[in-house]
Structure 1
């Protein structure tokens, strides 16, 4: 299975998230899955890919060639696809992935997350999406979504669009057994 991971590429990310990202990468590799990610070497992205590669896994990085100006890219991926735009990158994430895992991240991660759940809400794909809420990172965002449902601006039950899990084990269990 090809697991797309969206997460921070920041060097300033707290180590507790880096450690969880590495564990997730280890599990992806141990279970024989392939990582699809944004290609960065820092933050959650870098930690997950390092966990995958250190444990004999496969990783596909996808990024615009110009992004090196903002963050260094991982040159040890199994395969790397360079794009011209961020939109092309996101389209390739969708094309090359079977499931999406959203880890702690910033504006770019939220952009990717919102796009993938919007496309699912509009029936443009039916792939599973799981939010990795390690250390309660997305608690406030979840409260915002619940508020939006209550206010009537989100019409579907959010559980139809994505699931929230707290630990690496719970994330991997959902990825492999989505009916749970």
Structure 2
């Protein structure tokens, strides 16, 4: 695994644990010589993550749309900053550069990025691992929602486990190495195939 895209917030969050955990992940990525691909900001959880990778000798590629370059305060010390035209281009470029995806706590934008990657896995558009770093049990309500979707038959059981959930960066990354993607979603039943 050469690079991992991380989706996360440009805010610090309500507790120091979010920044501390982002820094732990950054250190782990650098130690494993995994390039960080992220949104390019120097603030919040995003900035702490990038700073930690750089402080430990790792490489960081930021991807940021032009209209956000000033608003989110682009990081000035990155290995590379790729400026794109839109949010759609940002996500596509991050997905292209990454061998896997990790989601840290963030707001609606972070969840939107996660759900797109999750859906792409279901549809077979990529076969890369996707993990939720469940810092401070932040994603517990989302995990419950997945359980509810499964119980109500809107999410097939085999797709519920697309997102690898761990609260420790080392354990999460270890699970990435043994990840096996689910079969591709289809609406054709066995009866229709015969």
TM-score tier after normalising by the smaller chain length: over 0.9
**TM-score, normalised by the number of residues in structure 2:** 0.87
Unpaired runs of at least 5, structure 2: 181-194
What's the CA shift string for 1:49-84, capped at 9, x where partnerless?
111000110000001011034311111110111000
Partner of 1:122: 123
Counterparts in 2 of 1:22-171, with a 5 A limit? 22-171=23-172
**TM-score, normalised by the number of residues in structure 1:** 0.94
Partner of 1:175: 176
**Aligned with 1:163: secondary structure?**
strand
**Aligned with 1:117: secondary structure?**
helix
Q: What RMSD in Å do the two structures reach over aligned CA positions? A: 1.4
**Aligned with 1:171: secondary structure?**
helix
Is the Cα contact below 8 Å between 2:3 and 2:100 reproduced in 1? yes
Unpaired runs of at least 5, structure 1: none
Displacement of 1:108 in angstroms is 0.9
Could you tell which deviates more after superposition, 10-19 or 132-141? 10-19
Question: Which 4+ stretches in 1 moved above 4 angstroms?
Answer: none
Larger radius of gyration: 2
